Amino acid sequence: MNELRRICVYCGANPGSDPCFREAAWQLGAYLGLQGLGLVYGGGNVGLMAAVADGALSVGGEVIGVIPHALMQKELGHRGVTKLFEVGSMHERKALMVDLSDAFIALPGGYGTLDELFETLTWLQLEFHRKPVGLLNVAGFFDGLLAFVAHLRESGFVKPEHAACLLVESDAAALLSALRTFAPPQLGKWMEKLAAETR
C-alpha cells in the first residue's frame, strides 16, 4: 500500500469545450482535499488548473503551485494557493512537481498536459521514481490516447508491464484506490536486456 500525502494533477490551462471537464477538475480538487491529500499542480489561475485548485481550496485543502517566472509575469499565477513556487523553466517546474508528489493524475488538457504525463511515465519506466501515475478519463477524453498506447505495446515499443503502469479510471475514488495499491514492475535491468536482444 502506497502512502499518499500529496497528489500532483496535470491538466489544461484552458477549460476545454465541454463543461464536464471543468466540473471534473473542481470535483477532483475537492475530493483530494476532503481525503486530507495535498494538491500539487502547475500554479495557474486559468482553465482546469484554476478549477482543480479552487476545488481543493473550497474544502480547506493544501494547494501547492509550481509556475515558471515567465508565466508568472503574465499574471497567470494563482495568488490564493497555500504555497506558490516560482521556478526558472518548464524543466524545473516538472522536476519540482515530481519531487513534491507521491502520485500523479492527469485530467484533460493539451500538449503541456501530455508532455508532463509522458515525462513522468518515462521516469517511472526508467526507475527514476517508483510513484504511481493515473488518468482520470473524464467522458472518454483519453480513449484515443489509450488506443495509441495499446498500439505502442502491440508494436513492440512499450513493454506490456510498462503499458500497465498507466492506471485508468473514470471515477476519482476508484483511481485513488488504484494509486494506493500500485506496485511498479520488477523488470530488473531491462535496458541491458533490451540491448542484448537487439545485438
CA distance 70 to 27: 29
Higher pLDDT residue, 189 or 140? Answer: 140
Residue of 7, 38, 182, 184 lying closest to 107 (CA atoms): 7
Mind giving me the DSSP string for 6-52? EEEEE--SS--SSHHHHHHHHHHHHHHHHTT-EEEE--BSSHHHHHH
pLDDT at 164: 96
pTM exceeds 0.85, yes or no: yes
Segment 106-146, tens digit of pLDDT: 999 999 999 999 999 999 999 999 999 999 999 999 999 99
Burial of residue 147 (CB within 10 Å: 0-12, 13-18, 19+) is: exposed
- Identify the band that residue 187 occupies on the pLDDT scale cut at 50, 70 and 90: confident
Name the residue among 146, 109, 125 with its Cα closest to residue 11. Answer: 109
Q: Tell me the percentage of the chain whose pLDDT exceeds 90.
A: 90
| CATH 3.90.400.10 for the 6-197 domain, yes or no | no
Query: Rounded to whole angstroms, how far apart are CA atoms 96 and 27?
Result: 25
Per residue in 30-86, pLDDT tens? 999 999 999 999 999 999 999 999 999 999 999 999 999 999 998 899 999 999 999
Extents of the domains making up the chain: 6-197
**What whole-number distance in Å separates Cα of residue 30 and Cα of residue 140?**
21
